């Protein structure tokens, strides 16, 4: 019988959707409530003033944001942090259904079919604030052969939004799987999706990605002195079937540290919080409490100030439009 877990979710809800819909319901009897609850869950975009509420607070992020333990009792994120029982590292790729397939690795495609695929794919929809390395690499690799880009960014295939990413990238020998930024511990779904589609990832991002996945099972730009040197190696793999298949056949996971047991890690983390007699780690007294309240008060103040400023600006614009409208009609 599953243990009951009652959660209050702070807005916005999109960032915690994967945790609440994909994993926790498998482990617990989850109920969402605003009245009586075991945990309050917030995320990167949760307005700070929403944290001024009762309850044990858990921070969850799918972004490369370091948790702020001045506002949250517990946190789940990407970083390699040592913070007692208050933190769980859970890479984002664990919450995708393709990860279960990768764990079992049911690859039935023949080597001949793997070799007779198109060259390379890329699927990027959001490139805001991303490193320019992705574009530089895409352009350099495209000098050798066409790289099919089906996302919204650098799209060269036409059409609208790509609905089935996995089917698309499985038709290619290689896949450009760059993160938006390079941060220790920040491994998203990109490299995992490529591996689950049985295509060879060309990765850039987390400098510690070898802790998550077998370094011999993908091409890592950070292992090379330059983009040109990495591209030359990919050209070699594309033209040498045995070398390409040797990498593709490697076990995807690092045997000394992987997240195949991610569900048990999540279960243990949540059960520990629920079983603690004094689970709250935030002090309601002293400088921490003062700091927390000061930051909340500042945020509320500036939000109100911004709203007043916006309303004043709109009123001025409307007055000006009225003056112009009357002047034009008099003319």
Structure tokens that stand for 166 in this block: 């996995």
CATH architecture of 3-94+262-320: 3-Layer(aba) Sandwich (3.40)
Average pLDDT, integer, range 278-302: 85
Confidence band (pLDDT; 50, 70, 90) for 70? very high
What is 97-248's CATH number, 3.40.50.300, 3.90.1150.10, 3.30.200.20, 3.40.50.11660? 3.40.50.11660
pLDDT at 331: 52
Q: What angle do CA 230, 234, 238 make, to 5 degrees?
A: 170
Average pLDDT, integer, range 214-241: 97
Nearest Cα residue to 262 out of 95, 86, 102, 28: 95
As a whole-number percent, the residues of the chain with pLDDT over 70 amount to 91
Domain with CATH 3.40.50.11650 in the chain: 3-94+262-320
Contact between 102 and 196 under an 8 Å Cβ cutoff? The reply is: yes
Residue 186 scores a pLDDT above 90: yes
Question: 1-5, 26-30, 125-129, 188-192: which has the minimum mean pLDDT?
Answer: 125-129
pLDDT digits (tens, 9 = 90+) for 314-326: 556 556 655 555 5
pLDDT digits (tens, 9 = 90+) for 150-178: 988 888 888 755 778 999 999 999 999 99
pTM exceeds cut of 0.75: yes
Domain with CATH 3.40.50.11660 in the chain: 97-248
């Amino acid at each position: 019988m599953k243990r009951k877990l009652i959660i209050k979710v702070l807005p916005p809800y999109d960032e915690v959707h994967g945790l609440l819909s994909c994993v926790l319901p498998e482990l617990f009897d989850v109920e969402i409530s605003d009245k009586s609850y075991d945990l309050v869950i917030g995320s990167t975009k949760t307005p700070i003033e929403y944290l001024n509420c009762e309850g044990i607070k858990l921070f969850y992020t799918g972004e490369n944001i370091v948790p702020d333990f001045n506002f949250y009792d517990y946190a789940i994120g990407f970083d390699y942090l040592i913070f007692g029982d208050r933190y769980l590292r859970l890479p984002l790729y664990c919450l995708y259904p393709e990860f279960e397939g990768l764990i079992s690795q049911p690859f039935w495609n023949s080597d001949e079919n793997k070799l007779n695929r198109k060259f390379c794919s890329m699927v990027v929809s959001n490139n805001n604030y991303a490193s320019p390395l992705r574009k530089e690499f895409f352009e350099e690799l495209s000098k050798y052969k066409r790289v099919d880009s089906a996302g919204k960014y650098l799209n060269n295939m036409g059409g609208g939004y790509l609905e089935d990413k996995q089917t698309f990238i499985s038709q290619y020998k290689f896949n450009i799987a760059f993160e938006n930024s390079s941060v220790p511990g920040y491994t998203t779904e990109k490299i995992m999706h490529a591996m689950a589609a049985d295509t060879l990832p060309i990765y850039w991002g987390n400098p510690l990605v070898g802790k998550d996945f077998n370094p011999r099972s993908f091409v890592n730009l950070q292992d090379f002195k330059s983009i040109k040197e990495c591209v030359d190696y990919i050209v070699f793999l594309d033209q040498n079937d045995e070398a390409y298949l040797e990498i593709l056949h490697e076990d995807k996971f690092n045997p000394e540290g992987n997240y195949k047991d991610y569900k048990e890690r999540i279960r243990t983390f949540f059960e520990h919080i629920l079983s603690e007699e004094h689970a709250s780690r935030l002090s309601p007294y002293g400088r921490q409490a003062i700091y927390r309240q000061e930051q909340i008060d500042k945020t509320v103040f500036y939000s109100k100030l911004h709203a007043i400023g916006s309303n004043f600006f709109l009123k001025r614009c409307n007055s000006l439009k009225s003056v112009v409208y009357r002047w034009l009609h008099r003319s």
